[in-house]
């Protein structure tokens, strides 16, 4: 899902008109229409403003994924997985277990320049499993935030002092 499609889905889920979104983001109604239809590329400054204006984790996931160049989880929208909190919960548990299993099999004790090609390939497979788990967990977080109306932004703000106290961040 691209940014324009995400904006349209968000707008419709909130029951907003294109004119209302245009007003909120200080852009023209025509720009909203062009973004939603894909006739115009979503501008980064508009994307940032939209993330500040609309506190919706599903929308944020789509926008951040597009503008990060694929470094973050994107919304799961394939046919082989129902986008429902119970389905995503089961999927996330399965993917996290696969990460734990592969990490229990991979040795990270050797320095990177001392690993064999076979060990490096096994580490690459571990990274693949971590990516799968991140995607599953990101989607689970987003759907829970949206459905239970819990702001992920506010949860992160509350967690930062905890992470700082634990020495995880500065």
Q: Tell me: the pLDDT tens digits for 55-88?
A: 999 999 999 988 888 788 888 888 898 889 999 9
Q: What CA–CA distances, in Å, run from 59 to 4, 130, 153, 161? A: 10, 23, 13, 26
Q: Tell me: the pLDDT tens digits for 97-117?
A: 999 999 999 989 999 999 999
**What is the mean pLDDT of the segment spanning 152-163?**
96
Q: How would residue 1 be classed by pLDDT, with cut points 50, 70 and 90?
A: confident
């Amino acid at each position: 899902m691209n940014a324009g499609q995400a904006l349209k889905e968000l707008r419709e889920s909130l029951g907003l008109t294109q004119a209302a979104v245009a007003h909120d983001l200080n852009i023209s109604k025509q720009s909203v229409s062009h973004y939603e239809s894909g006739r115009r590329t979503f501008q980064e400054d508009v994307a940032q403003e939209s993330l500040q204006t609309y506190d919706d984790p599903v929308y944020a996931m789509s926008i951040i994924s597009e503008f990060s160049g694929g470094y973050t989880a994107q919304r799961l929208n394939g046919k082989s997985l129902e986008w429902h909190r119970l389905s995503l919960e089961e999927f996330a548990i399965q993917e996290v277990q696969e990460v734990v299993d592969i990490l229990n099999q991979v040795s990270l004790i050797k320095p990177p320049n001392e690993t064999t090609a076979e060990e490096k390939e096994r580490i690459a497979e571990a990274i693949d499993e971590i990516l799968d788990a991140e995607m599953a967990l990101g989607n689970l977080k987003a759907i829970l935030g949206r459905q239970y109306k819990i702001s992920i932004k506010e949860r992160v703000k509350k967690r930062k002092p905890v992470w700082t106290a634990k020495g995880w961040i500065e």
